[in-house]
Amino acid sequence: DVKVTQSSRYLVKRTGEKVFLECVQDMDHENMFWYRQDPGLGLRLIYFSYDVKMKEKGDIPEGYSVSREKKERFSLILESASTNQTSMYLCASSFSLVYGRDTNTDTQYFGPGTRLTVL
Amino acid sequence: KQEVTQIPAALSVPEGENLVLNCSFTDSAIYNLQWFRQDPGKGLTSLLLIQSSQREQTSGRLNASLDKSSGRSTLYIAASQPGDSATYLCAVSGTGNQFYFGTGTSLTVIP
């Protein structure tokens, strides 16, 4: 079974702190994703990565950065946490599928989530 | 940009009833569509993935259909059980390696 783990289930930080959220997958997936989930807004993509050291901005990258130094690990960084970054953060991973020149993602597997509160 | 809508936002049914959850999307140029289940405070669990060339997928009491041309998918749950209570989300994947998610349908199955 695919396993995606996240470093913390619950996290409380203060405004202005630097926050690291880590995600590890054990299935040698090329793609890794960071989402945040807020009531009424659903899941929104922050960043994704399709290979080591590669990253792409999602829909809401402002205030976040990411790091992927190893294939199995994808880190989300809040450079200076703010109260509007209080949310549930979900990490996911998937294989890439190749359709001619295009690539796309196979089934996404999610971690258990990190509930971040910024005071 | 792809937009995904799920209606209704919430649904409550008695145990044993068959039910249908709906998902619609604005751009029919998708590669695949995935249905997920989410329990409160937890991550998402994949239920079914339908490739764009397929019309349906089945897993146990679950059946998902896809009509790409009309931008619609349904998730059919047969003989519902209290353990089916959860939020169900659909997501579509187009060009690029990402999914676009709906906001989900919260299902309650009453014993």
Q: Kindly report, residue by residue over A36-63, the tens digit of the pLDDT.
A: 999 888 899 999 998 888 899 998 999 9
Which amino acid appears at position B101 of this protein? F
> Residue A25 burial (CB < 10 Å; 0-12/13-18/19+)?
buried
Instruction: Collect all residues with Cβ–Cβ distance below 8 Å to A101 and sequence separation of at least 6.
Output: none
Residues of A in contact with B46 (CB under 8 A): 107-110
Q: Which of B98, B101, B106 is the best substitution to test chain A (most A C-beta atoms within 10 A)?
A: B98
CA-to-CA separations, A14 to A34, A35, A75, A106, B6, in angstroms, rounded = 21, 21, 19, 37, 35
Residue B35: closest CA among B53, B27, B23:
B23
- A50 vs B contacts (CB less than 8 Å): 97
pLDDT digits (tens, 9 = 90+) for B50-63: 988 889 999 999 99
Mean pLDDT of chain A: 90
Distance (Å, whole) CA A61 – CA A9:
22
Express as a percent the part of chain A with pLDDT over 70. 91
- Which segments within chain B are labelled E, that is strand? 4-7, 10-14, 19-25, 32-38, 44-51, 56-59, 62-67, 72-77, 86-93, 99-101, 105-110
A103 touches chain B (CB under 8 A): yes
Contact (CB<8Å) B104/A92: no
A100 pLDDT band (50/70/90 cuts)?
A: very low
Residue A101 has pLDDT above 80, yes or no: no
